[in-house]
């Protein structure tokens, strides 16, 4: 059983082994004390950089309950582990916990899984063509030094074809303050080596989330060795009123459907894993949130999803960061989503673009309506890209786009071993998809150690 070096906040440090010995220790503590959050390691490491251009295993019992995917069928109300958050961190956690005979629950408030690594599907109002926009995470690459688990998984995803190299013309361009527009001729492509490392989910970012769940065995009753798979996935469901019930030493969660008016159902879990943005953890746990989580800042980011009737052949790139977006201009990132692998072919279909506004502009428009922002960003697009051929546009606000001051420690999650609680997400390891994945792997290891 792994030894967990535990840090008692704010200044006290202890170590103990997560084993029957520690369970006895915890049992002897009686009533639950105030939150005792622990990082899995004390060593802090600042190896990963910020966003470009912006800004124990344990022995487990076998169960014979069948798996369900978002079903309303009768479900067990007691789970070994409940994971709140179906983003990359939560999915990584569930996939590492699966196939161990555990009863697992994944709760995701969104329509699908993937979190900020997601895709908006729409249809062209004029022609009915399918439109595909990755409006959150644009692409990812692997930092092997601090993302070893992610590096291995990406190899498997590449083999499965659910991740592919973008192979686009990607780089930087300038905003011309005198002209008040993007200077398209200033586009400078990234070096070849960097371009070769750029990957996306295929045929969409959201396909990757579905792939991870499928590989975890959701929808299957048994794995290839005949072991039961018991994962309940509740989508469009928000976890609320999460409380630790001291006498039973279990977590109680209310699950509120976002599609029906029905009253929230209550479930219990032995271990609670919260894999969300830091702000969502604050909302969910209210008073018992560690200072580390409270202190994470993340900006608003407005996105414009726009489709034009025919390809913008005169634009010399497929993705570009606006180098001086922090000082001037509305736009920080512009991307020809249709150039990503597996997207609907352009032929006579509309071409899809995604634009991200700069941090300053997004902040200044944080209270504005989506209609007002759509109009303002669309005006920039038609002026800068020299087109009036827009057939679809939509604005979307990311409330917590990415952590500005992530923890980046080697632990990659926070663990309260007394309350059987593990907290993670990108903020616990960095600010990118690979960091979220690494945090999810750490969350799974912590949950197993806590059982």
Q: How far is the CB of 109 from ligand FAD (least distance, A)?
A: 4
Q: How far is the CB of 432 from ligand FAD (least distance, A)?
A: 3
Tell me the DSSP string of 115-154: TTS--EEEE-TTT--EEEE--S---B---TTT-HHHHHHH
Please state whether the peptide bond connecting residue 35 to the residue before it is cis, i.e. omega within 30 degrees of 0: no
Report whether 411 contacts 40 (CB < 8 A). yes
The DSSP 8-state label assigned to residue 190 in this structure reads P
Residues of span 271-290 touching ligand FAD by CB under 6 A: 275-277, 280, 284
Asked if 139 touches ligand FAD (CB under 6 A), the answer is yes
Question: Which listed residue (96, 116, 250, 336) binds ligand FAD by CB under 6 A?
Answer: 116
Q: How far is the CB of 427 from ligand FAD (least distance, A)?
A: 7
Asked if 140 touches ligand FAD (CB under 6 A), the answer is yes
Reference 353, options 331, 326, 328; nearest CA is: 331
Asked if 433 touches ligand FAD (CB under 6 A), the answer is yes
Q: Of 85 and 217, which has the nearer Cβ to ligand FAD? A: 85
Q: Of 66 and 410, which has the nearer Cβ to ligand FAD? A: 410
Report whether 255 contacts 107 (CB < 8 A). yes
Q: Count residues near ligand FAD (CB under 6 A).
A: 38
Per DSSP, the three-state class of 437 is helix
Asked if 406 touches ligand FAD (CB under 6 A), the answer is no
Reference 451, options 272, 224, 308, 234; nearest CA is: 272
Residues of span 338-397 touching ligand FAD by CB under 6 A: 356
Question: Which listed residue (32, 37, 68, 88) binds ligand FAD by CB under 6 A?
Answer: 88
Per DSSP, the three-state class of 398 is strand
What is the enclosing helix (H) or strand (E) of 192? helix 192-196
Question: Which listed residue (55, 115, 351, 448) binds ligand FAD by CB under 6 A?
Answer: 115
Q: Cβ contacts of residue 385 below 8 Å, gap of 6+?
A: 308, 312, 315, 353
Question: Which listed residue (142, 426, 438, 447) binds ligand FAD by CB under 6 A?
Answer: 426
Report whether 429 contacts 438 (CB < 8 A). yes
- Please give the Cα distance from 412 to 439 (Å, whole number): 5
What is the enclosing helix (H) or strand (E) of 270? strand 265-275
Report whether 376 contacts 358 (CB < 8 A). no
Question: Which listed residue (133, 398, 438, 442) binds ligand FAD by CB under 6 A?
Answer: 398
Asked if 318 touches ligand FAD (CB under 6 A), the answer is no
Using alpha carbons, list the distances in angstroms from residue 330 to 176, 178, 307, 392. Answer: 12, 14, 19, 20
Among 106-114, 213-221, 368-376, 415-423, which window interacts with ligand FAD (CB under 6 A)? Answer: 106-114
Report whether 61 contacts 101 (CB < 8 A). yes
Token pair, residue 28, equals 């002897």
Among 87-95, 191-199, 214-222, 224-232, which window interacts with ligand FAD (CB under 6 A)? Answer: 87-95
Residues of span 182-201 touching ligand FAD by CB under 6 A: none
Report whether 323 contacts 406 (CB < 8 A). no
Asked if 171 touches ligand FAD (CB under 6 A), the answer is no
Question: Which listed residue (4, 7, 86, 133) binds ligand FAD by CB under 6 A?
Answer: 86
Question: Which listed residue (401, 421, 441, 443) binds ligand FAD by CB under 6 A?
Answer: 401
Among 84-92, 214-222, 311-319, 339-347, which window interacts with ligand FAD (CB under 6 A)? Answer: 84-92
What does the binding site for ligand FAD look like in residue numbers (CB under 6 A)? 84-90, 107-110, 115-117, 136-140, 238-239, 275-277, 280, 284, 301, 303, 356, 398, 401-402, 425-426, 431-433, 436
């Amino acid at each position: 059983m792994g030894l967990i070096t535990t840090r008692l906040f704010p200044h006290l440090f202890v170590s103990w082994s997560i084993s029957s010995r520690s369970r006895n220790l915890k049992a002897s503590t009686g009533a639950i004390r105030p939150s005792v959050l622990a990082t899995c390691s004390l060593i802090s490491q600042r190896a990963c950089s910020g966003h470009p251009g912006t800004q124990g295993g344990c022995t487990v019992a076998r169960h014979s309950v069948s798996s369900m995917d978002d079903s309303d069928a009768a479900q067990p109300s007691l789970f070994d582990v409940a994971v709140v958050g179906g983003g990359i961190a939560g999915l990584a956690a569930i996939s590492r916990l699966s196939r161990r005979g555990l009863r697992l629950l994944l709760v995701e408030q969104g329509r699908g899984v993937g979190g900020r690594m997601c895709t908006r599907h729409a249809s062209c109002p004029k022609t009915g063509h399918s439109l595909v926009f990755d409006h959150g995470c644009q692409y990812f690459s692997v930092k092997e030094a601090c993302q070893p688990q992610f590096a291995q998984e990406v190899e498997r995803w590449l083999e499965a074809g659910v991740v592919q190299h973008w192979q686009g013309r990607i780089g930087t361009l300038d905003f011309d303050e005198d002209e008040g527009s993007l200077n398209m001729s200033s586009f400078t492509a990234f070096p070849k080596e960097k371009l070769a490392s750029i990957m996306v989910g295929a045929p969409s970012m959201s396909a990757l989330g579905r792939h991870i769940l499928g590989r975890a065995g959701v929808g299957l009753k048994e794995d290839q060795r005949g072991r039961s798979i018991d994962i309940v996935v509740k989508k469009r469901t928000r976890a609320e009123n999460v409380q630790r019930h001291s006498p039973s030493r279990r977590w109680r969660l209310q699950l509120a459907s976002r599609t029906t008016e029905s009253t929230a159902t209550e479930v219990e879990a032995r271990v609670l894993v919260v894999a969300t943005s830091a702000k969502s953890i604050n909302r969910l746990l209210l008073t018992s949130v560690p200072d580390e989580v409270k202190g994470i800042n993340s900006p608003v980011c407005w996105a414009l999803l726009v489709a034009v009737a025919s390809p913008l052949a005169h634009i010399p790139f497929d993705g570009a960061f606006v180098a001086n977006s922090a000082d001037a201009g509305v736009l920080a990132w512009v991307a020809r989503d249709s150039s990503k692998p597996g997207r609907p072919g352009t032929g006579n279909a509309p071409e899809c673009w995604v634009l991200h506004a700069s941090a300053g502009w997004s902040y200044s428009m944080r209270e504005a309506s989506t209609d007002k922002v759509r109009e303002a960003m669309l005006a920039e697009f038609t002026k800068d890209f020299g087109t009036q051929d827009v057939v679809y546009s939509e604005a979307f606000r990311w409330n917590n786009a990415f952590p500005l001051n992530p923890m980046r420690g080697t632990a990659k999650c926070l663990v309260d071993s007394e309350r059987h609680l593990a907290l993670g997400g990108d903020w616990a390891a960095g600010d990118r998809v690979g960091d979220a994945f690494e945090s999810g792997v750490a969350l799974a290891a912590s949950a197993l150690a806590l059982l």
